[in-house]
Each structure stands twice: as C-alpha cells, then as structure tokens.
Structure 1
Amino acid sequence: MPLYKTITPNSQTTVKIWKITESYDDLMAKVDLKPVALERVLGMKSELHKRGFLSVRHLLHEFGYTDADLFYDENGKPHLKDGKHISITHSFNFSSIIVSDLIVGIDIEKQRDKISIIAHKFIDYEFDYLNEAAKDYVKKLTTIWCVKESLYKLFATPGLSFKQHCLVIPFEISDEETVAWIDYEEKKFRYNIHFLQFEGFTCAYAIA
C-alpha cells in the first residue's frame, strides 16, 4: 500500500507519508498534471526524482486535491488555492505532505553516516548535547537536519541559516517531539516539533 502512514497531530493538521513502490510509468498513468508540472517532470534526469515528484501528486489526491490546486510563490514555497497551508518533501523512496490551517513545514531524510561529515555546517548550539560516540548519533543528526529544514520551509525567508538562526532544544529519539526556535533579526520564534523514524528514514514537521 503506497500510502504508508497518516498522522493527525491536531484537529487542524494532517500528515500523509507515501512509500514509493510504483514504477515511473505506473505513477504517471494515474495522475493528471497541469502543463507546467508535466514539463517539469519530463525535464528531470533522475527517475528517482520523477517518481518522488509524481508520488507527491498522488498524495495531493489523498487529501482531495489535484495538481491544479497547487502553486508556488517566488521563493519556491508551495501553496494551495483554498488557502490552507502545505509543505512537501521527498527523499529516495518516501514522500510526504503536511496540510494545515496553521503555518507548517516538513522534511524527510534518509539516515546516512556521511551526515556526520557535514554536521559542522548546520549545527552549532546542538553540539553541546550531542554525543558522537552514542549509537543514535546519526539518527539525532538526521533529526536535527530535518527539524531545521522544516523550519526553513515554514519560515520561507531568504538568508535564514540552519546554523546561525535555527536552534533545536535537547531531545531523545524516543521523545518523538521537541521545541525549536528561530532567532532571526533580533526576533525569536518558538515552534512545536514532531518527529518519527521508519525504515532507516527520519521525518520531522514543524507547526507554528
């Protein structure tokens, strides 16, 4: 079943996760794309990216939307024509959408050891509570990345830095929730964060 999981964190918000098991041809045959979206997917070189793109359109259908209901602003942030807030993500063979009356952001990432090599590029404060020798170090790094990516999508402000402006409060993997802050231009914004682990992937979403 491609619809992998549905989560309802509150009465105004729904998250749906899709496991991409279908071929590109199967996904394409069952979706109706507007011309600009069709041109975009046909121009993609990677079949993995094509399948991710198309699976997102299938997720839209699960919410009762079509590709025609989705549009992007000048910063590349997705919007829905009915005014509800949306955020979109896909990584390898998983994709996800969050739809809410509230401002939201979501990210999925595959857990890979190489994230430890680039940790210094997106982490500052969080190094104070991370233990590089811990078994869950890669999971925690991946979770922090997902949290900060979801904040970036939610905040949608050019110039926002993962390392300088986004801060994730200490957490354990078993908590499945934490708090994060954006400290930007002398203003502080607090966000509730939920996260989950599945099949070697991490998903995190932020709700304003």
Structure 2
Amino acid sequence: MIEFRGAGPAEFVEQLETVIDIYTAAMNPPEEQITGRKTIMRNHGTYPHFQCYFAELHDSSRAIHDPGITTVGFAYGFRGAPGQWWHDVVLRALAAQSGDEVAHAWLGHAFELAEVHVHPDYQGKGIGRAMIQTLCAGRGERSALLSTHDRPTAARHLYASLGFTDLLSRFVFPGGYEEYAIVGRPLPLT
C-alpha cells in the first residue's frame, strides 16, 4: 500500500540521499550534475512555505522489527519569491512574451512545484498524480507552476490532465541547452 507522508525542511534534508537516489533513477542525469542538484535541493528547503511529501510503500508482510517501508517517490514545492533563480528567470521571460501584468498574475503569489519524481519501478500507477494533488491541497497561493521537458512525455501528459497549460514553450534556461515548457494552473487544484 502506498501512503503519502508530509515532511518539512529538516526531514527533507535528512532524507536527501534517498531523494537523490529517486531523482537519479527517474531522470538519469549526468553524474557530474548530482552534487549541484543536491545543493539546489538543500537550498530549496530554505524557501518560504516549503512542503514535501514522500510516497512510501508499506509492506505489511514484513516482520514487526522491520517495518518494510520503501520510499518510491517524492514531490516538493514552495512559494516563489523575488530573488529565487527560477522565479526571476521565468518572470522575466514571461513578461517579455506576454507582458508584466500576465507575468505578475501568474508568478506574483505562486506555488512552485520544484520536483515531482517517482522511481521508474513504480511509475504509471497514479503516484505522481496523487503526490501533486496532495502537495497542492490547501495551498494559499493563487497559482501553481512548474517546468518540464518540452516534449511528449508521461509527465507532460500528467500535468495537462491536471489542468496545467503552457505559459512558455521551447524555453531554454540560461546556461542550459534543453527545451522546457513552463506550465501553470490556478489553484485550488480540483
């Protein structure tokens, strides 16, 4: 049985090795990016209104002294704010494309879903969808935003099915080379 357990910044940092293992299995990044990714994730834990959920598989057939809990996914986000790299880069790009009013309407009081990952062995079972719904439930922000690879992926399909629409497409972050879509939707998530 899969259960979702909330975690604040301190526990998130304590579980960073597990988080990185799932991220690496799901995304298969180049080895040289792992250390930088850990630093970015650790810093995200300091952002305002940070919240994380772990998807945990509970195996009740295990002995009492071995609870049989395996973390199979995680999702986290926080309130975006000026001075945060992703927030500022996306705000500028959206303002350049659609105007300041549109950019501030989306990013002025937004929940930024920074990472949503499920171990490949457990993908396609609704875990990612449930984590996003759990993470967004009860949030006070007026919108939710995230970036995802701009190509037809299972993640892209999932976000669209949850009502996220493209705000920017074929977007390349400074210093990067891959194309991303910046997607958003009003909150609450229904």
Normalised by the shorter chain, which TM-score bucket? Answer: 0.3 to 0.5
Greater strand proportion: 1
TM-score under structure 1 length normalisation = 0.30
TM-score under structure 2 length normalisation = 0.32
